[in-house]
Structure 1
């Protein structure tokens, strides 16, 4: 077995990381709206800082080395960078700049002397509004998932987008894992890019913008087939993503803008607290959405020990709003996963279904900062005034009296805290009706967001939480192959260790080193000074090919004529790619095929041609079938269906397959009915 390791460079500490949302460098990749000015027209970028001494921030556009604009800011004097309206081909691109490499779009904000500051993009049109908070250097990385929420209904302005911006020359970016039926714009053709994978080469500060345009034609692929798409590069990139516009009601033209900037996969976590916005009780605009970065990711809500869902790499789950502690603004929801996952939140600015906003949410941890200083001019969204309120996640060990909120009018009374069901570590607050520059201070860790609305415009922003996401550096020693290889913490200076395999605790694995015994995902939980955090995962693969197949039926005892759905999965646990993978499923005579769908490749009964699979690749074939007794005199029939796999390489069969499912069909006993002294036999087949 060889070990594939994702390396991390910052050791766990209790200080503030230099790689944070509060940063000396910020990137704003360009995005694409479905129709010019209908999602965003007026645009501004707000710059703020906790620094009391004024300093300079320079702005650069695309690859142009000349300074586009320069601002002097301090804690008491934030600045506003006004941008061109609509499709200005800097922050929002037109059709001609979509689906092609561009060098004159995207912005960089740089403090040449290293001072740290916040960058918050705000935009609006006649009826829509959006906010995006740059994550600074924390946004730079090589492995991302395209995020957002399903875009329902139709309208000419409805569109989904991701903007990618390179930080170094000769950066190769691979985009894959989206619905094969999802298509992307290139110039004037909204469906020009049809390939199942796409590769881009960018130089420093060049950009590429994808648009999955919906318009007035709804399809699941365009609505949501892009969610969870993998964006992987060989050098650091930054992405922004979301929908311009999106709707949350099927068969409706309701819409608003929702965008944010995520961090790479090595900066996310497993524990999240969500705070409800002003959305209606129907839940259309109030829900979290979780995107998996690893197979078999279990999602738990409010401390329940049974997962609400289990999803695989690139899949997502929308958690129903009924899991919030109440239907009132400020209610909370506690969500944990057994493996690192992305977390997005759809929030309502008001009870209207068309005032939603989108937040990329940071995981909670005991190293969160204790200050958010400040959110500038909280009610100003590119020239219009919105209601202004903040959400606060705070440590439950911090006295309420130690948490202060100030705005342009001074100190604001803090409402009573809402406890978090399922966790004794956190509590939440919602503070509405704020004005001017808003600061939150605490003696313990906090995470702060803001929401607001004006008429049909809803906005949301998450302003903290990535400042101190810690990392634990792991490496492989002992030759790199089992049984002699071990994984170890590079700087073993923590108070305690606990290793996990596929999210489950490994009993007795309590040292700084561990020897894996099987393919899987491994991480170590460390504690220092009472503060606990998990390392990012590393995945162990076998040297030899190991193709694992499994077949599961949604029901195993049925009646004649019933429908049975089979889920067939194939997973590659070998280090190297396997090619020409084919899964064969010959159904027995008593079971007939109704329809089939695949996550990769093509299906022509009885063969599923998967193609090439790389390490960790897990794909699914769904077969909808109908059972039919060939002989009406048969009381029961049992059918066992077995799948098999073939590929160019020899399958080592190291992991046990589960290729068979048995379905029992019951023929219901005929009913005897006396009618006019005649005996009528009524045969019930179902």
Structure 2
């Protein structure tokens, strides 16, 4: 009974901040038999020193219950999959089908980070998807991937996909702005025209294209995915390239809806060749002007669904690039590595916009150098406000920036940003283990690593949404209900002032991050980030009284077959 009550309360309080969330919806990835996803893992982490209980729900299947803590991240191995058919993978043969048995939902008792990491293609490819938590949910998306436009030969090994997962019954999802002449996999009846499907809660659907149809190179880039109820969307390449050599890599991520994209972005170059160091910007509205660096005139003007790419030659001498747009854009970044000369080691991730509301702490990225047991060498890149102070916690030990050299970690920065002097960038290499980073101001952090031809990575910050209420019991031996309940907002979310409400009325004096409710009813919190001047409200959370236990036998009266504990069942008295 207690577990069921907890689950119902959790489902009824969906709200969040960024990737750091209590609930994560993960649609399946997708690939063809030409690039097999082999090792598959889900990584879960938390800043909490005390264990946090969570559930990994295999849609259409089992539920895995476990705990995670700061110093003991959780790694769920999905096994070695040889046919791209797993809980988190839809094979090409099953694309364009409505499935109720693909994808996962992760629910936790407190805020956690979640990501998918995998190794594919006989170990030559790797990839990572970083969950955006409940900030992933929305109704208006634009798909991105590797563009595949520079290499001469385009074949079946090149595969681009977008997957959606519904959160409510009778959700209509529409796919539009597909390149004319494209051939959708297993979906010839729709050609490249607009089409719609209807999904129920927990159902997923995948759209995909692959070679050799030349139009399919970038046919899905800018595709418009809209819905009448909230969905989650993954997209990218499971075999693609931004370079001119015949090559393929993985690059995919979970994205957010248009209202959580922005107009200002800072990108940090990696060490790959110019063609693979690619920024992809997709307009969400007509007449979107794109300004680079300190330029006062636009370099590009885009219509809705149109995209532009910026390669490595367009970064400034400081290795970063500020981009401002007149209207919101969807921003993706592909990176490479110079450890090979064949344009291997490409990776793609979704990039958050600059926002005053962005949290100052990422705590933590688990086992930053690993995919399973394989060790990758890599870096983190950081964007933060000028003159900020950075601090680090690595495997439970605290360091300042200068102290990192003592553990073999190299740092570059702070580096100024042309066109946006209010920000600066850093590159930090050689980190291992569980890594937390804090800044005194906004913090944007990406991490990626390479091992021979394989590269994985993702962005771990941005996309502030609403405060999310956690429920803590005051007495661990009792239930999660009145009078044994405390409500709280995690301190790492960035909110610094609070007002709690009971049945829509402000509670006098309830202005801390936590509150102990005294009456049954509906509670919510209004959180503010004082430096931004914005206020955001959580969802309303129902709080109820614990059922009585009049005979003190540890069984609530509504379930107790012997209410007076005299050894006789109620019906026999």
What is the TM-score of this pair, normalised by structure 1?
Answer: 0.62
Q: Structure 1, residues 169-196: CA drift from partner, whole Å, max 9, x if none?
A: 111101011112112112xxx7564150
**Cα distance between partner residues in 1 of 2:142 and 2:535:** 20
Residue 169 of structure 2: aligned partner: 169
**Cα distance between partner residues in 1 of 2:17 and 2:230:** 13
Q: Where does structure 2 lack aligned partners over 5 or more consecutive residues?
A: 1-14, 406-410, 468-527, 537-573
Residue 314 of structure 1: aligned partner: 305
Please state if 1:334 is matched with 2:322: yes
**Cα distance between partner residues in 2 of 1:19 and 1:156:** 39
Residue 291 of structure 1: aligned partner: 282
Please state if 1:301 is matched with 2:292: yes
Residue 124 of structure 1: aligned partner: 119
Residue 421 of structure 1: aligned partner: 418
Contact 1:63–1:206 at 8 Å: present in 2 too?
A: no
Contact 1:145–1:229 at 8 Å: present in 2 too?
A: yes
**Cα distance between partner residues in 2 of 1:275 and 1:204:** 38
Residue 648 of structure 1: aligned partner: none
Q: Structure 1, residues 392-412: CA drift from partner, whole Å, max 9, x if none?
A: 1011141xxx20234349532
| Equivalent position to 2:315, from 321, 324, 339 | 324
| Equivalent position to 2:338, from 343, 350, 369 | 350
Contact 2:30–2:89 at 8 Å: present in 1 too?
A: yes
**Cα distance between partner residues in 2 of 1:460 and 1:354:** 14
Distance change >3 Å, CA 253–CA 451, structure 1 → 2: same
The alpha-carbon deviation at position 132 of structure 1 amounts to 0.7
SS class of match (1:93)? strand
**Bigger CA drift: 130-139 or 117-126?**
117-126
Residue 46 of structure 1: aligned partner: 43
Distance change >3 Å, CA 240–CA 194, structure 1 → 2: same
SS class of match (1:180)? coil
Residue 205 of structure 1: aligned partner: 202
What is the TM-score of this pair, normalised by structure 2?
Answer: 0.74
| Equivalent position to 1:235, from 229, 244, 269 | 229
Matched ranges for 1:218-297 at <5 A? 219=214, 221-250=215-244, 252-280=245-273, 283-297=274-288
**Cα distance between partner residues in 1 of 2:220 and 2:88:** 21
Residue 57 of structure 1: aligned partner: 54
Distance change >3 Å, CA 468–CA 350, structure 1 → 2: farther
Q: Structure 1, residues 342-367: CA drift from partner, whole Å, max 9, x if none?
A: 10001013353111100100001222
Q: Where does structure 1 lack aligned partners over 5 or more consecutive residues?
A: 1-16, 471-526, 536-686
The alpha-carbon deviation at position 318 of structure 1 amounts to 0.4
SS class of match (1:278)? coil
Contact 1:242–1:259 at 8 Å: present in 2 too?
A: yes
The alpha-carbon deviation at position 528 of structure 1 amounts to 8.8
**Cα distance between partner residues in 1 of 2:58 and 2:95:** 17
Matched ranges for 1:596-607 at <5 A? none
Contact 2:182–2:213 at 8 Å: present in 1 too?
A: no
Residue 531 of structure 1: aligned partner: 532
Contact 1:375–1:437 at 8 Å: present in 2 too?
A: yes
Contact 1:30–1:92 at 8 Å: present in 2 too?
A: yes
Residue 404 of structure 1: aligned partner: 391
Contact 1:24–1:136 at 8 Å: present in 2 too?
A: yes
| Equivalent position to 2:28, from 27, 30, 38 | 30
The alpha-carbon deviation at position 260 of structure 1 amounts to 0.5
Distance change >3 Å, CA 195–CA 151, structure 1 → 2: closer
SS class of match (1:138)? helix
Contact 1:367–1:469 at 8 Å: present in 2 too?
A: no
**Cα distance between partner residues in 1 of 2:235 and 2:289:** 25
Distance change >3 Å, CA 529–CA 137, structure 1 → 2: closer
The alpha-carbon deviation at position 530 of structure 1 amounts to 5.1
SS class of match (1:116)? strand
Residue 9 of structure 1: aligned partner: none
| Equivalent position to 1:453, from 440, 450, 455 | 450
**Cα distance between partner residues in 2 of 1:195 and 1:302:** 36
Q: Structure 1, residues 262-318: CA drift from partner, whole Å, max 9, x if none?
A: 1001111100010111212xx111121110000000001112101110001000000
**Cα distance between partner residues in 1 of 2:459 and 2:345:** 17
Contact 1:272–1:334 at 8 Å: present in 2 too?
A: yes
The alpha-carbon deviation at position 28 of structure 1 amounts to 1.3
Residues paired across the two proteins, number: 443
Residue 183 of structure 1: aligned partner: 183
**Cα distance between partner residues in 1 of 2:369 and 2:54:** 23
Residue 93 of structure 1: aligned partner: 90
Distance change >3 Å, CA 147–CA 532, structure 1 → 2: farther
The alpha-carbon deviation at position 57 of structure 1 amounts to 1.2
| Equivalent position to 1:142, from 139, 142, 145 | 139
**Cα distance between partner residues in 1 of 2:74 and 2:238:** 26
Distance change >3 Å, CA 442–CA 294, structure 1 → 2: same
The alpha-carbon deviation at position 63 of structure 1 amounts to 3.9
RMSD: 2.3
**Which structure has the larger Rg?**
1
Higher RCO structure (Cα 8 Å, ≥6 apart): 2
Residue 81 of structure 1: aligned partner: 76
Contact 2:275–2:311 at 8 Å: present in 1 too?
A: no
